[in-house]
Amino acid sequence: MKHGKKYRAAAEKFDRNKVYSLEEAVKFLKENKIAKFDESVEVHVRTNVDPKKGDQQVRGTVDLPHGTGKSKKIAVITTTHAKDAKEAGADIVAGEELIEEIKSGKIFSAKNGFDILVATPEMMPKLAPVAKILGPKGLMPNPKTETVTTKIKETVEALKKGKAAFKNDNSANIHQAVGKLSFDDAKLIENVKAFMSGVEKAKPAGLKGKMIGNISLTSTMGVGLRITL
């Protein structure tokens, strides 16, 4: 992949063999901002789990104290708590008709899409036929990420404020945006620490030994710095 001049200049300044402190990494990314837009700051975690084993999946939620700086589009599928979902500010509130839209693919357009799908328990059996569509997109509701719940109002409000759901991908990695470069250093640092605390608490019972392999901090267009907390 060919990188631009600003990226190459930033890449020449950091030591690939060094493990940076969180404070050093945040400072570096800010001082070497590449894009004109307000880049997201992202944490990438390499875990030691075997993603093929069902008892070694890392999955959970965490409340980021200062949010991610990006508004999330929340969809709620329910036949029992539609009023709560609307009052909490859900972007899409629907019943079984949403399943038909998922099957047709219409719901995934830029206009109609959503970032998180929350479901009430009675809808889960009905979502089974579209699990293979939602699963690969990371949108299938799951009790472990608290996206299957009867506490719709509290859940939607928390997600809007910055509650983040995470899980490992097929390569045993976890990725999460934890703020914007425009955030104060202290806010970014607090968000990163809160996220990593949530990841550590989600260590699966089936994994023996250390779960975290390494942690990297980067921005949307920036270089990735290995960090230690």
Would you say residue 16 has pLDDT above 70? Answer: yes
pLDDT of residue 2: 67
Q: What is the pLDDT of residues 134-174, one digit of tens each?
A: 998 889 999 988 999 999 999 999 998 888 889 899 999 99
- Domain CATH number, residue 127: 3.40.50.790
Instruction: Report CA torsion sign: 77, 162, 218, 44.
Output: negative
Q: What pLDDT score was predicted for residue 32?
A: 94
Q: What is the pLDDT of residue 45?
A: 98
Same domain, 48 and 123: no
Strand order from edge to edge, sheet including 74-77:
92-94, 74-77, 116-119
- Is residue 95 within 8 Å of 77, Cβ to Cβ? yes
From 109, 126, 161, the end of a domain falls on 161
Same domain, yes or no: 87 and 138: yes
Same-domain check for residues 39 and 92:
no
Looking at the structure, tell me whether residues 10 and 23 fall in a common domain: yes
Q: Cα(130)–Cα(133) distance, rounded to whole angstroms?
A: 5
Please indicate, yes or no, whether residues 223 and 192 belong to a single structural domain of this protein.
Answer: yes
Q: CA–CA distance from 155 to each of 166, 210, 218 (Å)?
A: 15, 31, 29
Region 189-211 average pLDDT = 94
Question: In whole angstroms, what is the distance from residue 66 CA to residue 194 CA?
Answer: 10
* Domain of residue 224, residue span: 5-66+164-228
Q: Are 38 and 179 in contact (CB under 8 A)?
A: no
The domain boundary, picked from 161, 176, 198, lies at 161
pLDDT digits (tens, 9 = 90+) for 78-112: 999 999 999 999 999 999 999 999 998 888 776 77
pLDDT score recorded for residue 1:
58
201 and 94 fall within a common domain = no
Higher pLDDT, 4 or 214: 214
Residues 196 and 156 in one domain: no
**Of the candidates 135, 124, 137, 117, which has an alpha carbon nearest to the alpha carbon of residue 75?**
117
pTM of the model: 0.81
Average pLDDT over the chain, rounded to whole?
Answer: 92
Residue 113 has what DSSP assignment?
A: -
H/E segment holding residue 28: helix 22-31
Q: How many domains does the chain have?
A: 2
